[in-house]
């Protein structure tokens, strides 16, 4: 009869021992390399920003930060990997805006975007620009809306795929203006942009770093920028609110998330070193050269922003009827 009692007592002793060791473990963190999982393929703009930060982040932590690209399923593969990883600070998530859209359009997810993660800090963001092929007889957002209302479903818009930010940004415009424009989903941002440049599609939301050069050389006509303020890259382009579509904001953003049960001391270390990396002069310069704006906000600020994004895209998906499965 004594055996089970000893087993329980031993388990309690081990648990207490481990609990007492947590502050020491946190103090020694990191003792080895950190894996940073990315939800997009190598070579794109977000991947480049992640690698710029990872290089400086490695220096700050004193351990190598290994970038692990796990693209697919609108970022859900990468999110699932991190959600199920040990909560020890050695697997972190360089999340992007897709994680705020997926809960709104997928009926089932293998992770909970709110309860399975803790927000550390945003990395960067850049807005989408509403652009049209030059052959389309519109010179403003007002012109586009008028044409779309006069000829429902006569216009086509390209996107990087169903459920991507370029898709949802246009769905938000349709919901806010009561217009019907036909969706042409492509397998990625590059083919969607090519479709617009060749006239295969007539209008689209394109990230500013890609859109700006085409606007400047008149290959695309800029109509509006989906942000609170005008872009320093194309300052003559009005915001969507200035153009008549109130509160139309669509940002491609990135930020650091960790498994929810990661020790607070480890989260704090990650936050301090992350902000030091993101706000370092060399990183700020390189990120801005890519057309993005560095952030480095607090965990509370990032968490509040994340929740607001979840609510916003859930409302757009509901009103537009957007679903994936």
The answer for 319, left when phi > 0, alpha when psi is -120 to 50, beta otherwise, is: alpha
For the question of whether the overall pTM of this predicted structure is more than 0.75, the answer is yes
Beta strands in 190-277 (DSSP E): 203-207, 221-225, 251-259
Q: Check whether the bond before 37 is cis (ω within 30° of 0).
A: no
Question: Roughly what angle, to the nearest 10 degrees, separates helices 2-28 and 264-278?
Answer: 20
Q: How many CB atoms lie within 10 A of CB 125?
A: 19
Beta strands in 102-164 (DSSP E): 117-132, 156-159
Give the confidence band of 26 by pLDDT, cuts at 50, 70, 90. Answer: low
pLDDT higher at 16 or 43 = 43
The CA distance from 316 to 97, in Å, is 14
- Give me the count of residues in the chain: 325
Among 21-25, 126-130, 260-264, the least confident range: 21-25
Res. 15: pLDDT tops 90: no
Domain 31-126+252-320 top-level CATH class: alpha beta
Q: Which residue has the tokens 């050695």?
A: 90
Q: Tokens representing 94?
A: 């360089």
- Whether the CB-CB separation of 58 and 65 falls below 8 Å is answered with yes
| Residue 198 CB contacts under 8 Å (≥ 6 apart), including other chains | none
Question: Tens digits of per-residue pLDDT, 136-153?
Answer: 999 999 999 999 999 999
Question: Tens digits of per-residue pLDDT, 197-237?
Answer: 999 999 999 999 899 999 999 999 999 999 999 998 899 99
Query: In the chain, what are the domain boundaries?
Result: 31-126+252-320, 127-225
Examine domains 31-126+252-320 and 127-225 and report if their fold is the same: yes
Q: How many CB atoms lie within 10 A of CB 308?
A: 11
Question: Tens digits of per-residue pLDDT, 85-121?
Answer: 999 999 999 999 999 999 999 989 999 999 999 999 9
Question: Tens digits of per-residue pLDDT, 177-207?
Answer: 999 999 999 988 889 999 999 999 999 999 9
Quote the distance between the C-alpha of residue 263 and its chain's center. Answer: 24
Res. 271: pLDDT tops 80: yes
Res. 306: pLDDT tops 90: yes
- pLDDT at residue number 25: 54
The CA distance from 158 to 190, in Å, is 11
Question: Tens digits of per-residue pLDDT, 46-64?
Answer: 889 999 999 999 999 999 9
Beta strands in the chain (DSSP E): 34-38, 65-69, 91-96, 117-132, 156-159, 182-185, 203-207, 221-225, 251-259, 293-294
Q: Does domain 127-225 have CATH number 3.30.43.10?
A: no
């Amino acid at each position: 009869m004594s055996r089970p009692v000893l087993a329980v007592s031993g388990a309690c002793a081990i648990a207490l021992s481990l609990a007492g060791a947590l502050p020491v473990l946190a103090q020694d963190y990191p003792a080895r390399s950190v894996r940073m999982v990315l939800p997009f393929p190598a070579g794109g703009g977000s991947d480049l920003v992640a690698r710029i930060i990872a290089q400086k982040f490695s220096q700050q932590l004193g351990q190598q930060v290994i970038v692990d690209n796990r693209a697919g399923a609108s970022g859900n593969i990468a999110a699932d990997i991190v959600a199920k990883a040990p909560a020890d600070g050695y697997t972190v998530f360089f999340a992007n805006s897709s994680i705020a859209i997926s809960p709104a359009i997928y009926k089932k997810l293998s992770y909970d975007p709110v309860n399975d993660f803790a927000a550390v800090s945003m990395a960067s963001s850049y807005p989408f620009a509403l652009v049209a092929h030059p052959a389309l007889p519109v010179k403003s957002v007002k012109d586009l809306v008028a044409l779309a209302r006069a000829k429902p479903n006569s216009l086509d818009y390209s996107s990087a795929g169903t459920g991507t930010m370029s898709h949802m940004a246009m769905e938000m415009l349709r919901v806010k203006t009561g217009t019907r424009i036909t969706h042409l989903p492509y397998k990625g941002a590059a083919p969607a942009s090519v479709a617009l440049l060749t006239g295969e599609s007539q209008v689209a939301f394109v990230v500013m770093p890609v859109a700006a050069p085409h606007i400047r050389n008149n290959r695309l006509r800029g109509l509006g920028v989906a942000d609170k303020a005008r872009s320093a890259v194309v300052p003559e382009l009005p915001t969507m609110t200035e153009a008549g579509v109130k509160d139309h904001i669509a940002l491609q953003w990135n930020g650091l998330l960790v498994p929810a049960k990661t020790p607070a001391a480890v989260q704090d270390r990650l936050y301090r070193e992350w902000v030091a990396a993101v706000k370092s002069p060399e990183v700020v310069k390189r990120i801005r050269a890519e057309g993005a704006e560095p952030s480095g906000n607090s965990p509370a600020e990032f968490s509040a922003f994340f929740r607001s994004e979840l609510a916003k895209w859930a409302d757009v998906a509901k009103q537009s009827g957007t679903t994936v499965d």
